[in-house]
Amino acid sequence: MSAAHSEHRGKRRAIIIGGSMSGLFTAAFLRQTGWDADVYERSKIELVGRGAGITTHPELIEALQKSGVDLRDLGITVEKRITLDRSGRVIGEKVLPQILTSWDRLQRLMRATIDDAHYHLGHSFERVEQDGSQVLMHFAGGRRERADLLVGADGIRSSVRAQVAPEIQPIYSGYYIWRGAPKEADLDPSTRSSIFPYFAFYLPERQQVIGYPIAGLDNDLRPGHRRYNFIWYRVADAAELKEMCVDANGQQHEHSVPPPLIRGDLIARMRADASAIMPPQFLDCLRNMQPFFTPIYDFSTPQLVFGRVALVGDAASAARPHMGFGMAKAGADAQELAQMLGRHDDTDRGLAAYNRIRQPIAERIVRHGRKLGAQLGVNLQTAEDQAMWRLLQDYRAMMDWIAVPNFLAATP
């Protein structure tokens, strides 16, 4: 029996690996086009409390709306951006209304779009076998599942991608961020009045400090109960990063260190460095938060489809976070995949169309992230890199470019 024939006998079935945002978007959109979709997530418990702030974009709002989620109380709207100097004085402003939300909020909204019968926690994907029109997945513990399609939505270190394209590895950018989310109530009244309501920048040489308000725990949006998302970009070469990844027990980690295990001497050094350069409002944030660090990686792949395996979200490509666009890309990847599979009865043609449309966009997003990263002055190889570096030394250019909506329309 031909593949196309067998497909037409019943609903087509997809298995999605990864129960975070891109997995949930993919399940929602595939179901809308008449597919059966099951999500398998390796975490044994519901995903909560990851990361912190998320800037939103029109593409993300559209994906959420089309997934059927209730967008009331999505986040906090800031009306403008400001840049501070070392003394904490505002030296620049730009009116730019934008909704800032949090990873937790988005995850909960999207998790509500799928019932428990189709969302399987505690399942770690191990490998896939393909025989043309079918995929057979193997999970840790011996479970096996058969489907017409496997979607890798399992993040930047995707084990699905590791199997179909092991040569593709995330590339370290040469910089990392210190992050945290102090509670509004713990901040000094002057911090609350001068930066809390805004998307705020402080831009010392080869560094970026950025902050914006987000909901408190349990999506608490009441004044006094919110948090401030704090991000500090700093340069570190691979050797320095390796040293940072030795935890408080002396154990070497590969990519980062769980927050409670970050060494005290590292945090003390970071605080001393901050005291020497930062405006009082951002120092106040640092004093009132548990800091953790995230090294910045990016990559893209020449193809998003490998037979009956498709990649979406961070598994497919991940840009440096200067545009705050990862969630929006996850939603748009999922939407396009489902749309193309809905448009083509022949699954392989649908997958080819998805690849044709989204792969070049993924490349553009990754390139744009690298351009914006030039502000940090790492590995500036071409005249264009140098020109970008010079342009971004002006805080007005940074306010014009960092995490702004609709950047793709302005990018070749």
Site for ligand FAD in 175-214 (CB under 6 A): 177
Give the separation between CA 116 and CA 237, rounded to whole angstroms.
Answer: 44
Nearer to ligand FAD (CB atom), residue 19 or residue 279? 19
Residue 340 makes contact with ligand FAD by CB under 6 A = no
Identify the residue among 14, 55, 147, 182 touching ligand FAD (CB under 6 A): 55
Identify the residue among 41, 104, 145, 284 touching ligand FAD (CB under 6 A): 41
DSSP string, 213-241: EE--GGG--STTS-EEEEEEEEE--HHHH
Q: What is the DSSP letter of 251?
A: P
Residue 19 makes contact with ligand FAD by CB under 6 A = yes
Site for ligand FAD in 273-302 (CB under 6 A): 294
Residue 321 makes contact with ligand FAD by CB under 6 A = yes
Q: How far is the CB of 275 from ligand FAD (least distance, A)?
A: 23
Nearer to ligand FAD (CB atom), residue 316 or residue 392? 316
| Element holding 154 (H helix, E strand) | none
Nearer to ligand FAD (CB atom), residue 88 or residue 330? 330
Q: Is residue 276 within 8 Å of 204, Cβ to Cβ? A: no
Nearest residue to 315 (alpha-carbon basis) of 188, 170, 196: 170
Question: How many residues form the binding site for ligand FAD (CB under 6 A)?
Answer: 34
Residue 40 makes contact with ligand FAD by CB under 6 A = yes
Burial class (CB in 10 A: 0-12, 13-18, 19+), 120: middle
Give the separation between CA 226 and CA 213, rounded to whole angstroms.
Answer: 7
Nearest residue to 171 (alpha-carbon basis) of 293, 317, 327: 317
Q: How far is the CB of 81 from ligand FAD (least distance, A)?
A: 14
Classify the C-alpha dihedral 337-340-342-345 as positive or negative.
Answer: negative
The count of other CB atoms within 10 Å of the CB of residue 11 is 11
Give the separation between CA 184 and CA 248, rounded to whole angstroms.
Answer: 29
Nearer to ligand FAD (CB atom), residue 88 or residue 291? 291
Residue 75 makes contact with ligand FAD by CB under 6 A = no
Q: How far is the CB of 104 from ligand FAD (least distance, A)?
A: 12
Nearest residue to 240 (alpha-carbon basis) of 295, 194, 285, 279: 295
Q: What is the DSSP letter of 318?
A: B
Nearer to ligand FAD (CB atom), residue 324 or residue 350? 324
398-to-83, 195, 208, 283 alpha-carbon distances in Å = 9, 17, 10, 21
Measured in residues, the chain has a length of 412
Nearer to ligand FAD (CB atom), residue 88 or residue 226? 226
Residue 59 makes contact with ligand FAD by CB under 6 A = no
Nearer to ligand FAD (CB atom), residue 272 or residue 409? 409
Binding mask 144-173 for ligand FAD (x = CB under 6 A): ---------xxx---x--------------
Nearer to ligand FAD (CB atom), residue 7 or residue 145? 145
Question: Phi first, then psi: what are they for 289, rounded to 5°?
Answer: -140, 160
Identify the residue among 7, 14, 23, 332 touching ligand FAD (CB under 6 A): 23
Site of interaction with ligand FAD (CB under 6 A): 17-23, 40-43, 47, 51, 53-55, 124-125, 153-155, 159, 177, 294, 313-315, 321, 324-328, 330
